[in-house]
């Protein structure tokens, strides 16, 4: 079986890592042999968002790097499509495996389906209900053209069934990103990040990168006003996405001295920062999942989430995008308000192995 998998942006790397390990483990002891090529589109291309993640997570050097770089959604998606097509034509894989919901995911899937290559989507079926999010469009379109859809929570399978995806294409396997977290948690605990940042007491963590939050100067100013107020009760550490940093500077948005802006962190350092935090405030999907497993209270600064299990089962809470609502929610946690949560079903570190087993089983059937 010939398989090409694609990684393009920081969230992809945590999902690809356990899959490359599971494929290697299968090939060491079992058949059929999975001939695996790893393609890095280069959608994220700086050291902290790409190269360092490959090193820390033990991901093999990509077989092919498309070197796409940044650009608008249209430019980036088109360039990925242009560069992946000759790769698929040359190697003629049986399957193309894509993960998550970034531009690399939909771009490569669109090229593959038109060439008759079967598509595997890992982390399928997640829906926020907000089509104003580019990621939501990427998710819906990728799922519509995929042949095997691997889900992280049971609700995702229900979403796919409602959209007309045949049940035999859908497989509930758990969460590969949590595979990575559990595998590297002990290493992350050994990080000296807190000492390097001079953290001695309680603190909170902030991340913001969604266009709806950072591209509108009024919205971003409101969020920083709320965070400035929260930081009076709890110092905040804010690894700043490059896009967010430029918006803060361009619009002259004031940032409290109790909010420390730091450069983007590697995977192990950021996992350490999260795991020791009193509170995390974010608009990231993956961080909602990680804090659920770490047992850390999380406030998601969005109107909706495509990961509802982190709310119904985990430690995540959706907060209205209003200054006072954010401040009140944070203070409820700091005042010892109830935070309960449990780890969702099959978030046990074995998702990647389950995926490989299903691929092998399908290959045996000639599927």
CATH of the domain at 241: 3.40.50.2000
Same domain, 219 and 324: yes
Peptide bond into 32 cis (omega under 30): yes
Q: Do residues 115 and 227 both lie within one domain?
A: no
> Is position 104 within any domain?
yes
Residue tagged active-site, from 91, 209, 251, 313? 209
Number of domains in the chain: 2
Q: Helix or strand or coil: residue 64?
A: strand
Does the structure show a pLDDT above 90 at 298?
A: yes
In a domain, residue 170? The reply is yes
What predicted TM-score, i.e. pTM, was given to this entire model? 0.94
Residues 134 and 107 in one domain: yes
How far apart, in whole angstroms, are the C-alpha atoms of residue 98 and residue 15?
A: 10
DSSP, collapsed to helix, strand or coil, labels residue 366 as: coil
- 110 and 194: one domain? no
Q: Is residue 164 one of the residues assigned to a domain?
A: yes
Tell how many helices (H) and how many strands (E) occur in the chain.
16, 13
| Residue numbers of the domain that contains 357 | 2-174+350-364
Both 110 and 13 in one domain: the answer is yes
Digit-coded pLDDT (tens) for 300-347? 999 999 999 999 999 999 999 999 999 999 999 999 866 778 999 999
To 10 degrees, what angle do helices 176-189 and 351-364 make?
140
Q: Is residue 357 part of a domain?
A: yes
169 and 64: one domain?
yes
Q: Rounded to an integer, what distance in angstroms lies between the CA atom of residue 62 and that of residue 45?
A: 13
How far apart, in whole angstroms, are the C-alpha atoms of residue 104 and residue 16? 13
65 and 196 belong to one structural domain: no
Query: How confident is the model at residue 331, as a pLDDT?
Result: 96
- Whether residue 206 is contained in a domain is answered as yes
> Is 184 an annotated catalytic residue?
no
- Same domain (yes/no): 146, 45: yes
Instruction: Supply the pLDDT for residue 67.
Output: 87
* Mean pLDDT of the region 256-273: 95
From the number of C-beta atoms within 10 Å of its C-beta (0-12, 13-18, 19+), residue 273 rates as buried
Please indicate, yes or no, if residue 290 is contained in any of the structural domains.
yes
Distance CA 367, CA 364 (A): 7
User: Does residue 183 lie in a domain region?
Assistant: no
> What is the DSSP code (8-state) at residue 131?
T
Check whether residue 356 and residue 322 sit in a common domain: no
Quote the percentage of the chain above a pLDDT of 90: 83
Q: What is the pLDDT of residues 187-228, one digit of tens each?
A: 999 999 999 999 999 999 999 988 889 999 999 999 999 999
Residue 38 and residue 57 in contact, taking contact as beta carbons nearer than 8 Å: no
Q: Which candidate, 155, 156, 157, 176, places its Cα nearest to that of 167?
A: 157
Instruction: Give Rg (Cα) of the chain.
Output: 20
Q: Are residues 226 and 160 in the same domain?
A: no
Mean pLDDT of the 14-31 span: 95
Per-residue model confidence as pLDDT tens digits over 93-146: 999 999 999 999 999 999 999 999 999 999 999 999 999 899 999 999 999 999
> Same domain, yes or no, for 223 and 142?
no
The answer as to whether 208 is a domain residue is yes
């Amino acid at each position: 079986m010939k398989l090409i998998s694609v990684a393009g942006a920081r969230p992809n790397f945590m999902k690809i890592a356990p899959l490359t390990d599971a494929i290697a483990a299968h090939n060491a002891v079992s058949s059929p042999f999975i001939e695996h090529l790893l393609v890095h589109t280069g959608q994220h291309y700086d050291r902290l968002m790409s190269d360092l993640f490959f090193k820390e997570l033990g991901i093999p050097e990509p077989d092919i790097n498309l070197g796409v770089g940044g650009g608008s959604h249209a430019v980036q998606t088109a360039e990925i499509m242009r560069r992946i097509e000759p790769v698929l034509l040359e190697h003629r894989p049986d399957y193309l495996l894509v993960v998550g919901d970034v531009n690399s995911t939909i771009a490569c899937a669109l090229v593959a389906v038109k060439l008759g290559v079967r598509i595997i989507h890992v982390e399928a079926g997640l829906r926020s209900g907000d089509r104003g999010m580019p990621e939501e469009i990427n998710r819906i379109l990728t799922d519509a053209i995929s042949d095997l859809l691997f889900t992280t929570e049971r609700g995702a399978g229900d979403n796919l069934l409602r959209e007309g995806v045949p049940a035999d294409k859908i497989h509930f396997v758990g969460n590969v990103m949590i595979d990575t977290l559990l595998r590297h948690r002990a290493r992350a605990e050994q990080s000296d990040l807190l000492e390097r940042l001079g953290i001695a007491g309680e603190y909170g963590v902030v991340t913001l990168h969604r266009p709806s939050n950072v591209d509108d100067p009024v919205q971003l100013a409101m969020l920083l006003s709320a965070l400035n107020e929260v930081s009076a009760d709890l110092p905040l550490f804010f690894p700043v996405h490059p896009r967010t940093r430029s918006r803060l500077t361009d619009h002259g948005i004031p940032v409290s001295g109790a909010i420390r802006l730091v450069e983007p962190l590697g995977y192990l350092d950021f996992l350490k920062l999260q795991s020791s935090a009193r509170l995390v405030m974010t608009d990231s999907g993956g961080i909602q999942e990680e804090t659920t497993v770490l047992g850390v209270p999380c406030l998601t600064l969005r109107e909706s989430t495509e990961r509802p299990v982190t709310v119904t089962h985990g430690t995540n809470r959706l907060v209205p995008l209003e200054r006072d609502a954010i401040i009140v929610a944070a203070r409820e946690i700091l005042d010892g308000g109830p935070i309960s949560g449990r780890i969702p079903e099959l978030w046990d570190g074995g998702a990647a192995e389950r995926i490989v087993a299903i691929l092998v089983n399908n290959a045996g059937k000639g599927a």
